[in-house]
Amino acid sequence: MEHFIETVRRYPCLWNTTAIEYRDQELKDAAWSEVMKETDLSSVKEVKMKWKKLRDSYRDALKREMLAKEPNNTAKKNYPWKYMGPMQFLQPHMSVRKKPPEPYPAPPESAHNGAEPHSSEESESEADNDSSAKRKGSVRLAAIDRKLDYLCKAQSKRQFTEAHLHERGRPPPAAPDPLDIFFNSMCQSTKRFPYPTQIKIKRTLFEAVVAAEEALVAEQQSYASLWARGAGSSSTSSDGGEGAEGDVEGGERRPS
């Protein structure tokens, strides 16, 4: 649960009612989707319901805390909610109430009822409309820029966190083998030669490796043959010594 609370806290557009981004529904939808991905929940609806329950529980805990501080309160001792600490960032925004939108000022009544506006007034009105449209366009572009920047930062932070956790669990890479380095460098050098030359180099290398393997096998067989011959001669000499020794003992036992 603490991970879920911390994830929502990283997106102020979801809880900071005084922020401009709080009024941007598209940005909030994108933020909810990011929270869903980071907390492995099944849907945005589940994320919103979970956050609503936490927020309502925190509001109730604040009310109980305020009632417990009243001097005439005779209720039992109030035990703090277990998520009071992680949810504390929400406290400054719990008492904020949305103000109703101010009504637009009524247009001033014309001095002469039924009189048509002058052409100069029409020109001023058109100029005001043009400037108002430009201002709205600029504000919308600025909001889009803020939205893109916000989402890019959130995505970068999430990717950095995932990469950092992945690197922490990964064992350190093994040192490259010197033989691999040598043959890789030879491979890059060979690629620069014409194809017929590459064939000659490959054949020469193949023959060198096969000759080395054959020499190694012959050497191993020679050692094995010498070892077997030495073991056989040692066994024969041992048997002959025992026979001679038996003859001597037998000769000693013969009567003179």
Average pLDDT for 174-189: 77
Q: Which amino acid is at 115?
A: A
Q: Is residue 129 pLDDT above 60, yes or no?
A: yes
Report yes or no: 66 and 51 within 8 Å, Cβ to Cβ. Answer: no
Question: So what's the pLDDT on residue 116?
Answer: 46
Q: Is residue 13 pLDDT above 60, yes or no?
A: yes
Confidence of residue 48 (pLDDT cuts 50, 70, 90): very high
206-222 pLDDT, tens digit each = 898 889 988 989 888 88
Question: So what's the pLDDT on residue 226?
Answer: 82
> Which residue's entry shows tokens 């109703």?
100
- Please give, one letter per residue, the 3-state secondary structure of the chain: CHHHHHHHHCCHHHCCCCCHHHHCHHHHHHHHHHHHHHHCCCCHHHHHHHHHHHHHHHHHHHHHHHHHHCCCCCCCCCCCCCCCCCCHHHHHHCCCCCCCCCCCCCCCCCCCCCCCCCHHHHHHHHHHHHHHHHHHHHHHHHHHHHHHHHHHHHHHHHHHHHHHHHHHHCCCCCCCCHHHHHHHHHHHHHHCCCHHHHHHHHHHHHHHHHHHHHHHHHHHHHHHHHHHHHHHHHHHHHHHHHHHHHHHHHHHHCCC
82-111 pLDDT, tens digit each = 888 888 888 888 764 444 444 444 445 444
Question: So what's the pLDDT on residue 205?
Answer: 86
Question: So what's the pLDDT on residue 170?
Answer: 66
Confidence of residue 256 (pLDDT cuts 50, 70, 90): very low
pTM: 0.39
Q: Is residue 249 pLDDT above 70, yes or no?
A: no
Report yes or no: 8 and 14 within 8 Å, Cβ to Cβ. Answer: yes
Least confident range of 27-31, 111-115, 131-135 = 111-115
User: Where are the domains positioned within the chain?
Assistant: 1-95+147-169, 178-237
